[in-house]
Chains A and B, each alone.
Chain A
Amino acid sequence: MSNKILEMQNINKSFPGVKALSDVQLDLHRGEVLALIGENGAGKSTLMKILTGIYQKDEGSIIYDGKEIAPSNTKEAQELGINIIHQELNLMPDLTVAENIFIGREPRDKLKFFLKNKELNQQADELFQKLNITLNPRTKISKLTVAKQQMVEIAKALSFNAKILIMDEPTAALTDKEINTLFDIITWLKNEGVAIIYISHRMEELKRISDRITVMRDGEYVATLPTETTEIRQVVSLMVGREVTIEQKVSDPNKFTDTVLEVNHLTNHYIKDVSFHLKKGEILGFAGLVGAGRTEVARAIFGADPFSGEIKVNGKTVTIKQPVDAVKHGIGYLSEDRKRFGLMLEMTVKENIIISSLANYSTAAFVKPTNIKTDAEEYARRLKVKTPSVNQRVKLLSGGNQQKIVIAKWLLKDCDILIFDEPTRGIDVGAKQEIYDLLEMLANQGKSIIMISSELTEILRLSDRIMVMNEGRVTGELLNQDANQENIMELATQHN
């Protein structure tokens, strides 16, 4: 029996318009923990989804336990012994622990109709004994902590006699103590011969738990290194890729004097003790990985989520309980998901631009249509929105033009502080440049901008100053002149 349990070779996968994986390889030994790392969009998840039958590969081979396989759904992969524990746990919260573990395989009578609940719970108990974990099979999932829910997922995977267990960011929602427990279980699994693919952004964890590290970047395989002899710095530079040269903004930090926004100790369910300030005419970049809490900071400032802490606009403490309050103080928020939160797609360009300022165009409850048209046209022209007329429905415009309409909306509303959340998401390369120019123009005109972006190139290119977040906290602040991809990435993966 070879020590290799899995060998993936030359895996290719394309989605309409995107090459997600090109010639990716990965090999895995029995009883080892292989860390799989890469930036957002590097292709880790796609590769794992192919391995577990959620996606099908276009090309390449998967040799599992000496045989070529091509699982076409998760159940098939499970039966082969390949299990994944997603970051978003896949459990039924209203069912019990045992019901979840044996869903679809519950012990039944001869008619296959009536359930044998006693046996079900017994089997679960036996499983827990074997795994040496203490869980009550009769407890509902919704009553368990995330850590225990994860135990249930692990137990479920092992009840299929898993030979490969994939864990996607398993520690993201765990406390330090729970992490130790999880690592104990992982060590035990290793000794039992289970091979584990461990996806995480926390470098120090990889050092602690993994045997080898495979790095991916932009849908390609980069390298596999033995953990013991590898420095974190080395891994980070492989992740980021040195050969990428980027334009970096030259910014004079002394140019900005007046503080327009000051945020102190912002805290809620998602974010912890976030403090920063924003100066007039400045572009402040917020860098971090997906889920670092950047959007949550924006939503709190905008009054979309409740929070504790203090917000000062132009030196005065303000009360922001809902978006209406934020807008009143001149804060505009451009959501990362503009189709869901930013635009009324079925309505016209004109209607979308004036929607927040409607009161200015109305006497009593009646809307005055004449000014609306001229003003909407004025803003559409200023932002170079490409549309046959302002009566065009927004749905029919390109992503870049839709983004401009959201910007126009807040400019018309006289917002001086603009929060851009992933301003170029879903916008093609040419239009990105236009959005960049627009942001710079706005800053030069004295608007103050917070820009959240997951693209480091974008952050370095536009920001005057950079805040880096991880796990709901600010892990660092850099002036653009001191920042580079490596030190941002290091801060973004720093676990407190």
Chain B
Amino acid sequence: MSTLTSNPSASDQKKRLVSSGALQQILAFASLIILVIFFSIASENFLQWSNIEGILLSTTVIGILALGTTFVIITGGIDLSIGTGMTLTSVMTGVFIVFLGLPVLVGIIGGIVTGALIGFISGFSVSILRIPPFIATLAMMMIAEGLSLVISGASPIYFSDVEGFNNIALGSIFPGAIPNAVVIFFIMVLIGWILLSKTIVGRYTFSIGSNEEATRLSGINVKKWKMIIYTIAGCFTGVAGVIMASRLNSAQPALGMGYELEAIAAVVIGGTSLSGGKGSLIGTMIGALIMSVLTNGLRIMSIPQEWQTVVIGFVILLAVYFDMLRKKDS
């Protein structure tokens, strides 16, 4: 009878490390550490607690958007609607709480449901209408942008009269310590991680991204699961929208365009492959942190903002180049 024992050679193992994506995650983590060390040497202000708090706080919105969109990207798709989608959830939260006078909790839930709905429509367009993800979510991005302006009358909705709204993000359950937004970010990392690695949703996310046709032939309702996955990503968009509104204590209808690209950049830097099938939320978290550490560090070093953007651009090039190397290797 047959025996098939695994006996990988050393070169096999080396190849494995590269192709498994583990390398890029290690690389991402190492770059984060190196960046932190570099900036703390370059500026004594960098490691001050207030600065670290600032970095973490500025990671939250992009970070949560990136977590959600990681799911979509692992399926081999892309979601461009998360930036303006986040804006629309902010605006809707404002509508519920300020215009309609509903309780804060209802407003928050309403915001998250709005996000879910945006995700659902994107998912529906992608799987049922078979519109390529890029186009479907590009359209959704514009729809959300326009709706935000229409609903808000093109002017910000202020929560100044809503007591405690600002504290959702900036208050602190642990007095004097980490702001809530940061806590929520880490909770979202945890929720996302459980979804992706411990549940049926996560399994099918990877399966679809790995080989959609084989997944379908295995008797899985790929269309249904894609809609679910886009909807989950939409929920993350909703949470990000609420945090954004709380941080600014207002819903800013003109803000949000461009956030989707930063979020996608964070996902890619974190080692998730744009061709699908590979990725992790811990990687995305690290990716988001790298983005904000870079921005913050460069600012502390008094590098003009224009140049900060240039640097981040190069970092993305580098990250995608590694993604390509990985693909070639496997």
* Contact surface of A with B, Cβ cutoff 8 Å: 73-75, 78, 90-95, 99, 103-104, 106, 108, 112-115, 132-136, 139-140, 142-143, 147-148, 151, 181, 184-185, 188
Known contacts: A90-B211, A106-B203. The answer to whether A132 contacts B5 by CB under 8 A is: no
From B1, B2, B201, B220, residue with most partner A Cβ within 10 Å: B2
Is B200 on the interface with A (CB-CB < 8 A)? yes
B199 touching A104 by the CB < 8 A rule?
no
* Complexed CA–CA distance, A178 and B217 (Å): 27
Please tell me if the beta carbons of B217 and A74 are within 8 angstroms of each other in the complex. Answer: yes
In the complex the two chains form, what is the Cα distance from A114 to B202 in whole Å?
10
Query: Please, how many angstroms separate the alpha-carbon atoms of A113 and B200 in the complex?
Result: 6
The contact sample of 22 A-B pairs, CB cut-off 8 A, is A75-B218, A78-B219, A91-B211, A92-B210, A92-B215, A94-B210, A95-B206, A95-B207, A103-B215, A115-B199, A115-B202, A133-B4, A134-B4, A134-B5, A135-B4, A136-B6, A140-B20, A142-B19, A143-B12, A143-B16, A148-B4, A184-B2
**Binary interface profile of B, 240-271, with partner A (CB < 8 Å = 1, else 0)?**
00000000000000000000000000000000
Cα distance, A217 to B327, chains bound together (Å): 41
Chain A positions within 8 Å of B220 at CB level:
103-104
Chain B residue numbers with a CB within 8 Å of A92 are: 206-207, 210-211, 214-215, 277
* Nearest chain A CB to B239 CB, angstrom units: 20
Q: Give the distance in Å from the alpha carbon of A139 to the alpha carbon of B278 in the complex.
A: 15
Residues of A within 8 A of B330 (CB): 93, 142
Are A90 and B213 in contact, CB atoms less than 8 angstroms apart? yes
- Closest beta carbon of chain B to A215's beta carbon, Å: 29
CA distance A136 to B7 in the complex (A): 11
- Please, how many angstroms separate the alpha-carbon atoms of A133 and B2 in the complex? 6
On chain A, the residues within 8 Å of B219 by CB distance are 73-75, 78, 104
B1-27, CB under 8 A of A: which get 1 and which 0? 111111010001000100110000000
Interface residues of B (CB under 8 A from A): 1-6, 8, 12, 16, 19-20, 198-203, 206-207, 209-211, 213-215, 217-220, 277-278, 330
Q: How many A-B residue pairs have CB under 8 A?
A: 85
Contacts A91-B211, A92-B210, A93-B210 given: A132-B277 contact, CB under 8 Å? no
If A78-B219, A94-B209, A140-B20 touch, whether A132 touches B2 (CB-CB below 8 Å) is yes
Q: Are B200 and A99 in contact (CB under 8 A)?
A: no
- The answer to whether A114 and B199 touch across the interface, beta carbons within 8 angstroms, is yes
CA gap between A143 and B15 in the complex, in Å: 9
A-B pairs, top 7 by smallest CB distance, nearest first, are: A75-B219, A92-B210, A94-B277, A94-B210, A90-B214, A132-B1, A103-B218
Alpha-carbon gap, A99 to B200, bound state (A): 11
Is A139 a contact partner of B2 (Cβ separation < 8 A)?
A: no
Since A74-B219, A93-B277, A94-B209 are in contact, a sample of 10 more A-B pairs with Cβ atoms closer than 8 Å, ordered by chain A residue number, is: A92-B277, A94-B277, A99-B203, A103-B215, A114-B199, A134-B5, A136-B6, A143-B8, A151-B2, A184-B1
Option from B4, B12, B203, B214 in Cβ contact (under 8 Å) with A115: B203
Partner of A103, one of B5, B12, B207, B277: B207
Given A90-B211, A90-B214, A142-B330: A181 touches B199 (CB 8 Å cut-off): no
Report the separation of the CA atoms of residues A73 and B16 in the bound assembly, to the nearest whole angstrom: 36
Contact across chains for A151 and B4 when beta carbons are under 8 A apart? yes
Contacts A94-B210, A94-B278, A113-B199; is A104 near B2 (CB within 8 Å)? Answer: no
The answer to whether A93 touches B2, judged by C-beta atoms less than 8 angstroms apart, is no
